[in-house]
Amino acid sequence: MRVGAHPGTRQPVEMYIAVLAGRAKSAANRNEPDITVLGSDDFWESITGISDFRARLLRASTVLSWLVRRRSADEVERIKREAPRALR
């Protein structure tokens, strides 16, 4: 998280950048003292207000990935079956 003033104004701003998982603990950035790098769980909890949101998101992403992969495989098989008839 970076807290500072937006260029051209004196309004404080916060900027959040994150990945689904990657950092275990929040800590200050060594090179930029005004930047706090949030741990993955801390980030997702601060955004959603749900303490285990990252775990839920990861679980849902895994299930959705499997469903999309399965649906894609079904579509490939359907196209292979239908293509010969369509190209006659």
Give tens-digit pLDDT for 64-74: 999 999 899 99
Beta strand pairing status for 2-5 and 12-15?
antiparallel
What's the pLDDT score for residue 50?
95
How far apart are alpha carbons 25 and 18 in whole angstroms? Answer: 13
With a threshold of 0.75, does the pTM exceed it?
Answer: no
Task: Give the domain ranges of the chain.
Answer: 2-86
Per-residue pLDDT at 22 exceeds 80: no
The helix or strand, by DSSP H or E, that contains position 13, with its residue range, turns out to be strand 12-15
CB 40 within 8 A of CB 58: no
Query: Residue 20 has what pLDDT?
Result: 64
| pLDDT score for 1 | 46
Mean pLDDT (the chain) is 82
Displacement of CA 50 from its chain's centroid (Å): 15
